[in-house]
Amino acid sequence: MNITVIGSGYVGLVTGTCLAEVGNHVLCLDVDPAKIAMLQAGGIPIYEPGLEEMVKRNVAAGRLSFTTDVAASVAFGDIQFIAVGTPPDEDGSADLQYVLAAARNIGQHMNGYKVIVDKSTVPVGTADKVNAAIAATLAARDTSIDYSVVSNPEFLKEGAAIEDFMKPDRIVVGAGDERAIDMMRRLYAPFQRNHERILFMDVRSAELTKYAANAMLATRISFMNELANLAETLGVDIELVRKGIGSDPRIGYHFLYPGTGYGGSCFPKDVKALVATGRDNGHAMRVLTAVEAANDAQKLRLVEKVVARFGADLSGRRFALWGLAFKPNTDDMREAPSRVIVDELTRRGAQVLAFDPVAMHEASRTMADIAGFSFADDMMSPLHGADALLIATEWKAFRSPDFAELKRLLQQPLIFDGRNMYDPAWLRAQGFEYHAIGR
């Protein structure tokens, strides 16, 4: 099939590349000329394990290419994926300006039947708006052309995006007409040779399914963070509680890790958007409002521990920070808890020297100017003479560091671990003062 992907970010680039990998011809469009120039020159604008090789392989095979030419991109694909950003508007609702601009572009240039697929995370009713935008543009052209609008929300996880796309747990497709359903079935056939993974449903249900999934996961995290904070006061180890409840199949082990709060490009904005959808439709989303409030508070949890140990005024203190990305295996810094931690430590007068295996370049775009904050070349150098080590992201490289060296380099053997990476009893036996979350 010939496929166009509109928006070549984390989702668009992975979607386009994986669809090319199974034999389709894919053209990825973006409005950002720098991004497209980089892709055309063989570069990859994001860090995603396995993506670079896959892009190169499919470009070399002539199945994957990149453009800023809107007319060419509309002409190319029988299926047009919309994978542009849907950031929060001022009131928390999803800002649909990029989705609707993409829809109008399609209406402006299409000359034959197209299936338009909303892959961006969009509120219930967006497919109707996309439909209306295309219809209005066609009407202005005085043209009538058949098309279908389908919802196909994306569930991939950054850091494991290729694996998730190539071997999805499920593929949700919201579609109303047989022609579109047939094309979507053929498109995804290579991804479900083992067993049927497509869940066909109506468009509105598909749209809500994506928000429901992210809101549920965010809820689990905030729930565990609140329990962890209580556990500290009660003298309970939350990691034992986590195993104790995770073993119940009704609960399961996933997404029960307490920490410094959820971040990233999805959970924060999707929780906000679902709260806004509730509000706009006369339903107070009480659980999700609390999930968000608990998360905002949790992002400051590690700094609260630092303040409890050193006092409110941190001037003259210097801290090493391991991890900036909102989670491991990505360079995504959107809504990363590390940002809140750095802002609060430096606001209190501390100096922070940070290391992240891949996100420092991305972080430098928004954090380079923070007074008192700087980046280190390797993971051990920030420890030299630092008052303590703080951990904000659970990168594999941090799992088993040379603790003797840590002890030698730090001013005192003191760790504030926002990701519960180490065994508290063992660390204390090695002479460390260890502050984790809920332990």
Ligand X SMILES: NC(=O)c1ccc[n+]([C@@H]2O[C@H](COP(=O)([O-])OP(=O)(O)OC[C@H]3O[C@@H](n4cnc5c(N)ncnc54)[C@H](O)[C@@H]3O)[C@@H](O)[C@H]2O)c1
For the CB of residue 72, give the shortest distance to ligand X in the complex, in Å.
12
Which listed residue (9, 16, 372, 438) binds ligand X by CB under 6 A? 9
Cβ distance to ligand X smaller for residue 45 or 372: 45
Residues 259 and 329 sit within 8 Å (Cβ to Cβ): no
Residue 152's contacts (CB-CB under 8 Å, 6 or more residues apart) are: 81, 117, 118, 119, 171, 172, 173, 174, 184, 206
DSSP 8-state secondary structure symbol assigned to residue 94? B
Q: What is the DSSP string of 108-136?
A: HH--S-EEEEE-S---TTHHHHHHHHHHH
Q: Which of residues 64-93 bind ligand X (CB under 6 A)?
A: 83-86
To the query of whether residue 266 is one of the catalytic residues in this protein, the response is yes
Q: Catalytic pick from 198, 266, 303, 354? A: 266
Helix 360-367 and helix 337-347, axial crossing angle in degrees, nearest 10: 50
In the bound state with ligand X, the residue whose beta carbon lies nearer, of 32 and 182, is 32
Question: Taking CB under 6 A as the criterion, which residues in 103-122 touch ligand X?
Answer: 120-121
**Spatial CA neighbour of 427 closest among 419, 125, 435:** 435
**Binding status of residue 156 toward ligand X by CB under 6 A:** yes
Interface segment toward ligand X; rule CB under 6 A; list 27-35, 291-299, 335-343, 387-395:
27-35
Contact code string over 37-66 relative to ligand X, x by CB under 6 A: ------------------------------
CB of 33 or CB of 235, closer to ligand X: 33
- H or E segment at 427? helix 424-429
> CA–CA separation, 109 vs 55, rounded Å?
27
Least distance between ligand X and beta carbon 109 (Å): 12
Sole binder of ligand X in the list 3, 7, 256, 298 (CB under 6 A):
7
Distances (CA, A) of 282 to 275, 276, 285, 398: 11, 10, 9, 46
Question: How crowded is residue 52: how many other Cβ atoms within 10 Å of its Cβ?
Answer: 15
Shorter beta-carbon distance to ligand X: residue 7 or 107? 7
Residue 297 in contact with residue 291, Cβ under 8 Å?
A: no
Q: Say whether residue 158 binds ligand X (CB under 6 A).
A: yes
Verify binding: residue 228, ligand X, rule CB under 6 A. no
Binding segment (CB under 6 A) for ligand X, from list 2-10, 303-311, 370-378, 400-408: 2-10
Q: Can you tell me the distance from the alpha carbon of 173 to that of 183, in angstroms, rounded to the nearest whole number? A: 11
Q: Is 102 in the site for ligand X (CB under 6 A)?
A: yes
Active site residues: 266
* Site for ligand X, rule CB under 6 A: 6-12, 29-32, 35, 83-86, 98, 101-102, 120-121, 154, 156, 158, 265-266
